[in-house]
Structure 1
Amino acid sequence: MKAKRQKQRPEDLNAKRATRKGPISKYLARHYRHFNSAALLDAAKGYEDHLKVGGKMFVTLAGAMSTAELGISLAEMIRRGKVHGIVCTGANLEEDVFNLVAHDYYERVPGYRDLTADDEQKLLDRHMNRVTDTCIPEMEAMRRIEKAVLAEWTKADAAGERYFPHEFMYKLLRSGVLEKSYQIDPKNSWLLAAAEKNLPIIVPGWEDATLGNMFAAAVIRGDVKNVHTVRTGIEYMTYLAEYYTKTAKTLKNGEGSIGFFQIGGGIAGDFPICVVPMLHQDLERSEVPLWGYFCQISDSTTSYGSYSGAVPNEKITWGKLASSTPKFIVESDATIVAPLIFSWVLGE
């Protein structure tokens, strides 16, 4: 009589999978066994599996991930071909460049929870704009980039040309005009890495970002004559729809699909994920596949009407994900979780 085959334990399977990886991955395989830590590791393995069969991955950035310097890990993911598109808020687009040229002028405020209203006013008086425990210097970061990108806006405006927000940033970085001002290692800028790969970037709601406000001011002053010199909103959705349709066709004959790795919630996540039901329901492109992988890192709790806190299965009812789509949610701080998932995918 044959002996009953013993089922392998999850920790043993994870250890085996991490054998050829570096120390960070081995640490995750050994210690991350339950609750949010297990969800983190499952999401990382799912990301890896998605790429192994030829899938593509979109990463969405909400919150202040650029000011949190996520670029240190995200840039390497982009360079190594583990990310194929970015969707981010206008703040994340610009703040990666702010950090690139003004890092040494930033200030940390570890005791930010104890700040009084008067303390906050003193920061404002010094032109230090606070994001949780980090202050962005207005003059060295925001105004310096405003001056540089305004030159790109007015040049395009005079020529009757129109570009997306990310295309203007690509032009600025590729021009080399900022290189002498870099205050971090350029390899830690995710936007520089994206520019080198000419990665598609979607920036919904760009108008509410600092540079969006500055563009509005330039239009009001008359520096820019055509308010449509910067393409936004609906044009980004049509751009994404055509990209998704075209890319999905190249993957159709294989096992690959397009995945969705969401950091935070809000418009950075909701805008792009809606492209699939739009393609199906409004354009009747029924052959276009659903998103083939989904992971969200969020500290938002599930609550009434909350998108950021909604569980992944809710997206099935909206035609965004299939019941069979691998789905993961890690309820934790993305500044802790995302670099660890990226390290696993990178084999570190």
Structure 2
Amino acid sequence: MSRGAVSQFIKHHFRHFNAAALVDAAEGYKRHLEGGGAMMITLAGAMSTAELGLSLAEMIRRDKVQAISCTGANLEEDLFNLVAHNHYERVPHWRDLTPHDEQALLERHMNRVTDTCIPEMEAMRRLEGALIEEWTRADKAGERYFPHEFLYRVIRSGKLEPYYQIDPKDSWMVAAAEKNLPIFVPGWEDSTTGNMYAGHCLAGEIKNVHTVRGGIEYMMVLAEWYVQTSRERSIGFFQIGGGIAGDFPICVVPMLHQDMRRPDIPVWGYFCQISDSTTSYGSYSGAVPNEKITWGKLGVDTPKYIIESDASIVAPLVFAIVLDC
């Protein structure tokens, strides 16, 4: 396939409605970067289990992403896939599963995410083994790190390499570790590894529960990153899904303005959200971008896009245009 073939196909056929919004948003992303801007990508849902790393890793390597905010699930599930891909099972008929079918999956330790089952022993427990070494070592040394920093340490240690079952170039976490990319993980405790960590604290294996740094400290570090980066570059916001992965980081701007009395800090310079949540009453995920103006997150002139579609389809296509694939 010739360079730019995918982009050319999209631009030729995607002319109206959400298809046109996809092209507009991707071209806006490119303009933002070409104008010297930086971009934060936020990952909600189960995008890592959807193997977004196949395209996101290259976006990171080619400096199309300067920071990521994601759920703890997306953080860990990229590495689950890295070390246990061959043990995953796809269930194309997932809509037809009965409660007894689901119970059978549970008894086999296969954790279902829509049409994909994550194997507990090969994925979750394998990563847990490497993490508990890092957690307990840091705990004994009186050191504290963020969730993503512990995973960076695991990746860089090489402990997982004997178990790699995909090409590491398709892991966005490996690419992020190589770049030492800033990652912010609000609500990490609502994740498999967060639950594991709580269990090891309850068992007394980890003495200081604060060995893993938490959400308030993430917001403080995010604020420092935003202030420093925005001095030189306009910062864009590319939101995949809704929820805490997007709501947490976008609030850094009104926090700086209203709580820190820093009206000099610029608002986000680009905004796009991919969501299958239709516009509705009281829904953050379904709120149109203009609503964010009233909260001090976006400006009147901020380029704003919303693509109402399935992110597992849309995000790789947007990335293809940004990468000129």
Name the TM-score, length of structure 1 as normaliser. Answer: 0.92
Aligned to 1:56: 38
Indicate whether 1:344 and 2:321 are aligned: yes
* Partner-residue secondary structure (3-state), 1:312: coil
Paired amino acid for 2:33 = L
Structure 1: runs of 5 or more not aligned: 1-19, 252-256
Indicate whether 1:305 and 2:282 are aligned: yes
Report 1:34-53 matches (<5 A): 34-53=16-35
Separation in 2, partners of 1:50, 1:134: 35
Paired amino acid for 1:31 = H
Separation in 2, partners of 1:119, 1:21: 45
What is the CA deviation profile of residues 137-168 of structure 1, one whole-angstrom value per residue up to 9, with x for unaligned ones? 00000011111100000000000000000000
Separation in 2, partners of 1:50, 1:57: 8
Paired residue for 1:334, among 311, 314, 318? 311
Shift of the alpha carbon at 1:304?
A: 1.6
* Partner-residue secondary structure (3-state), 2:40: strand
Indicate whether 1:200 and 2:182 are aligned: yes
Report 1:35-114 matches (<5 A): 35-114=17-96
Report 1:185-196 matches (<5 A): 185-196=167-178
Aligned to 2:117: 135
Paired residue for 1:177, among 141, 159, 162? 159
Aligned to 1:29: 11
Shift of the alpha carbon at 1:320?
A: 0.1
Structure 1 stretches of 4+ with a deviation exceeding 3 A read none
Paired residue for 2:236, among 259, 269, 272? 259
Aligned to 1:16: none
Paired amino acid for 1:30 = H
Separation in 1, partners of 2:278, 2:27: 24
Paired amino acid for 1:35 = F
Aligned to 1:166: 148
What is the CA deviation profile of residues 275-311 of structure 1, one whole-angstrom value per residue up to 9, with x for unaligned ones? 0000001001111100000000000112221000100
Separation in 2, partners of 1:131, 1:157: 33
Bigger Rg, structure 1 or 2? 1
* Partner-residue secondary structure (3-state), 2:189: helix
Separation in 2, partners of 1:305, 1:183: 43
Aligned to 2:138: 156
Aligned to 1:235: 217
Paired amino acid for 2:60 = I
Aligned to 2:263: 286
Shift of the alpha carbon at 1:21?
A: 5.7
Separation in 2, partners of 1:55, 1:285: 21
Structure 2: runs of 5 or more not aligned: none
What is the CA deviation profile of residues 157-206 of structure 1, one whole-angstrom value per residue up to 9, with x for unaligned ones? 00000000000000000000111110000000000000000000000000
Paired amino acid for 1:275 = V
Report 1:112-131 matches (<5 A): 112-131=94-113
Separation in 1, partners of 2:268, 2:117: 37
Name the TM-score, length of structure 2 as normaliser. Answer: 0.99
What is the CA deviation profile of residues 86-134 of structure 1, one whole-angstrom value per residue up to 9, with x for unaligned ones? 0000000000000000000000000000000000000000000000000
Indicate whether 1:219 and 2:201 are aligned: yes
Separation in 1, partners of 2:136, 2:280: 45
* Partner-residue secondary structure (3-state), 2:42: strand
Aligned to 1:322: 299
Paired amino acid for 2:36 = G
Separation in 2, partners of 1:168, 1:311: 36
| Aligned residue pairs, count | 324
Percent of aligned pairs with the same residue?
Answer: 73
Aligned CA-pair RMSD: 0.8
